[in-house]
Structure 1
Amino acid sequence: MMLAGCASASATGDDAKGEAEAPAEVRLGYFANVTHAPALVGLSEGLFEDALGDIDLKTEVFNAGPAAIEALSAGAIDATYIGPNPSINTFIQSGGESAHIIAGATSGGAALVVRDGIDSPEDLAGANIATPQLGNTQDVALRSWLAEEGFETSTAGGGDVTITPTENAQTLTLFQQGELDGAWLPEPWVSRLVVEAGAHVLVDEADLWKDGAFPTTVLLVRAEFAEQHPDVVEDLLEGHVASVAWLDEHADEAPTVINDALEEATGKRLSDDVLARALDNVTFTVDPHAETFAALVDNGLAAGTQKKGSIDGLFDLRALNALLAKDGGKPVSAAGLGDE
């Protein structure tokens, strides 16, 4: 993948040969989740528009990663905010040809929440637990954690604990109706079940990772698009970096901007209590925490949702690090899994 890290790498010489005429638009996927706040802010504050200039930005909202990957693989979108496990899956299944992670977006903000009466892992025997979609990042986290706790599960359903992939809004309704015992979800759905449905946290995923740092959302770009339009991808990335910086610099304004964007995407706003709780559990960062991806691969294999394969080359952080260096920032590591 050709992601220009400086003007000389994108304007002249052999590196420019693969670049096609600039497209009329960039098609970007994201989820209406707090963990996708860099996308929400970038759209609301016009940061992508500023970075892309004359190129239009078309967006599509997804519920979970596998659906976004399907659209990316079909060429229906060019880039997407997404969880790490679907990113790993498409890279392995394509032999490294499908897409590359070009930046991180969010760390933290996922948990297993359960009903009253479930206070320990042992209490989950026979329970029915929801995840956003089979093979998405939270689905893999739940399945691998249950395996470590000695439970057998199946991607076809059944097992010691039944895992039911369910659209997030429906999960809330079913939990309120007593038809689900819990769910492993991203924010703001964790906080919605806690605040609105009386759930409590059994496992905060941050407790399972060193220093509590784990990737919830990354920015993934279709490899063919990046090869043909490296300058456009760099512009999109510039908008993303600006969005993460905006969130850091405007903490007081962020809740309102995020809530307005969520309302535009879903037709509904979050309560102040839900949004405040959700934002307390996430960190917005351009670091994709590449050092965690070997463990994420192991988790996917243990969960039975992923094929064996190499993730060498999954990351291309050259353009990101060029932008960070320009602003005097520290480089981000690809942990030996790609270019940086």
Structure 2
Amino acid sequence: MFGIVRSSGRARARHTVLALAAATMLTGCGALGSADPNAAAGSELEKTTLKVSILPTTDLGPFWLAQDEGFFQAEGLSVDSVIAASGQASLTKAISGEADIAFSTYPPFFTATGTGAADMQLVADATSVNAKSNAIVTVPNSPVKTINDLAGRKIAITAKNTASDLLTRSVMQDHNVDFGKVKWVLIPLPNIAAALQQGEADAAYLPEPYITQAAKTAGAIPVIDINTGATQDFPLTGYGATRKWVRENPKTLAAFQRAMQKATHEALIDRAKVEPLLVRFAKIDEDTAKLLTLPGYGSILDARRLQRVPDLLLQLGAIPKPIDVNSMIGPQAGR
């Protein structure tokens, strides 16, 4: 060590050149400064490109923020979105391999596992019901005026055994309204306002931003807020993947989770960061983005809170036997 300190300037220069040459060979970089720090971060990941199936709703605010702010990129990930028509359709994309991770309302994850259709694990939380963020709505010319009028009517939902189905039936049950004779009309969220206007449905379950949009385009009015009774603060949406995918991609999953945790924190403390993303990605206008009620964002999975979902599914006959949520929660970064 002391010999190096006393060496001549020429010797020091020779040592420096050799050291730089060695570093270049090790990193595979052809020139100084050309190394990509994200490449180093992503080199340990099982996959650096992820496909995530999503629905264009306000629940995706933190996801779009993670993309826009470069949180995924900082973890060495390139994330592509695959649009799905419903939570069930999103889940199907993950099961088939078209997507790596699926965003969905929670019921499809539990019904798939409970019925043996797929072995799913939950990998990140997304949202809970907030006051006025989800509602059963109608239009002025509909025969439905109150929740008691829903019995025997045509009610639009996105798909059976999704949150739109489960939460609508739960709210009706809370008010002793018989849902046994309801005609369930399956309609994608973007088409529900028009269906209400045209009489194809007498009422509909809607989340934001569709509540605010339907109010502007079809004069839709709430029949009842979902954030009541048994569904108050109900776990609404999250991200999941097949157990096989989780087992084979632990580092990639952890990178996705870290990015989502950071983005969710940012979304919670600064709504102004979320609103322009809803305009860009959920295709809503600026006024709607400012007026709508955001859901309760979250990223860390809480088994006790989530247990409400399969318990309600079991109560409503959507799954044949109880499910312990702990058995479905995958590894979580930071825990």
Taking structure 2 as the reference length, what is the TM-score of the superposition? 0.77
Aligned pair in 2 of structure 1 residues 281, 255: CA closer, same or farther (>3 Å)?
A: closer
Aligned pair in 2 of structure 1 residues 319, 60: CA closer, same or farther (>3 Å)?
A: same
Aligned to 1:33: 57
Aligned pair in 2 of structure 1 residues 180, 229: CA closer, same or farther (>3 Å)?
A: same
SS in 1 for 2:184: strand
Read off the aligned partner of 2:144 and give its amino acid letter: I
Aligned pair in 2 of structure 1 residues 295, 238: CA closer, same or farther (>3 Å)?
A: closer
Q: Distance in 2 between matches of 1:60 and 1:192?
A: 23
**1:1-340 matched pairs, under 5 angstroms:** 22-51=46-75, 53=76, 55-94=77-116, 98-108=119-129, 109-116=133-140, 118-153=144-179, 159=181, 161-209=182-230, 212-262=232-282, 269-278=283-292, 280-316=293-329, 318-322=331-335
Instruction: Give the conservation status (yes or no) of the 8 Å contact 1:100–1:315.
Output: yes
Instruction: Give the conservation status (yes or no) of the 8 Å contact 2:155–2:205.
Output: yes
Q: Distance in 2 between matches of 1:78 and 1:287?
A: 19
Aligned pair in 2 of structure 1 residues 313, 298: CA closer, same or farther (>3 Å)?
A: closer
Instruction: Give the conservation status (yes or no) of the 8 Å contact 1:92–1:311.
Output: no
Aligned to 1:7: none
Note the C-alpha offset of 1:317.
6.0
SS in 2 for 1:253: helix
Runs of at least 5 residues in structure 1 that lack an aligned partner in the other structure: 1-19, 263-268, 323-340
Note the C-alpha offset of 1:21.
7.6
Note the C-alpha offset of 1:241.
0.9
Aligned pair in 2 of structure 1 residues 77, 111: CA closer, same or farther (>3 Å)?
A: same
Aligned pair in 2 of structure 1 residues 293, 246: CA closer, same or farther (>3 Å)?
A: closer
CA deviation string 1:137-189 (max 9, x = no partner): 111111233344444445xxxx1x22212111221111122332211122111
Q: Distance in 1 between matches of 2:304 and 2:217?
A: 35
> Which fold has the larger relative contact order, with Cα–Cα distance below 8 Å and residues 6 or more apart in sequence?
1
Aligned to 1:332: none
Note the C-alpha offset of 1:304.
4.1
Runs of at least 5 residues in structure 2 that lack an aligned partner in the other structure: 1-43
Number of residue-to-residue matches in the alignment: 287
Instruction: Give the conservation status (yes or no) of the 8 Å contact 2:45–2:252.
Output: no
Read off the aligned partner of 2:265 and give its amino acid letter: A
Q: Distance in 1 between matches of 2:327 and 2:125?
A: 13
SS in 1 for 2:272: coil
Note the C-alpha offset of 1:213.
1.9
Instruction: Give the conservation status (yes or no) of the 8 Å contact 1:28–1:79.
Output: yes
Note the C-alpha offset of 1:227.
0.7
Q: Distance in 2 between matches of 1:89 and 1:33?
A: 22
Q: Distance in 2 between matches of 1:165 and 1:200?
A: 20
CA deviation string 1:205-230 (max 9, x = no partner): 112358x4222211212211111110
CA deviation string 1:221-277 (max 9, x = no partner): 221111111011000111111221221233223211221122xxxxxx313332233
Instruction: Give the conservation status (yes or no) of the 8 Å contact 2:53–2:84.
Output: yes
Instruction: Give the conservation status (yes or no) of the 8 Å contact 1:106–1:215.
Output: yes
Instruction: Give the conservation status (yes or no) of the 8 Å contact 2:67–2:79.
Output: no
Aligned pair in 2 of structure 1 residues 271, 27: CA closer, same or farther (>3 Å)?
A: closer
The percent identity for this pair of structures is: 17
Query: What CA RMSD, in Å, does the superposition of the two structures yield over aligned residues?
Result: 2.5
SS in 2 for 1:258: helix
Read off the aligned partner of 1:38 and give its amino acid letter: P
Read off the aligned partner of 1:139 and give its amino acid letter: D
Read off the aligned partner of 1:107 and give its amino acid letter: S
Note the C-alpha offset of 1:288.
4.1
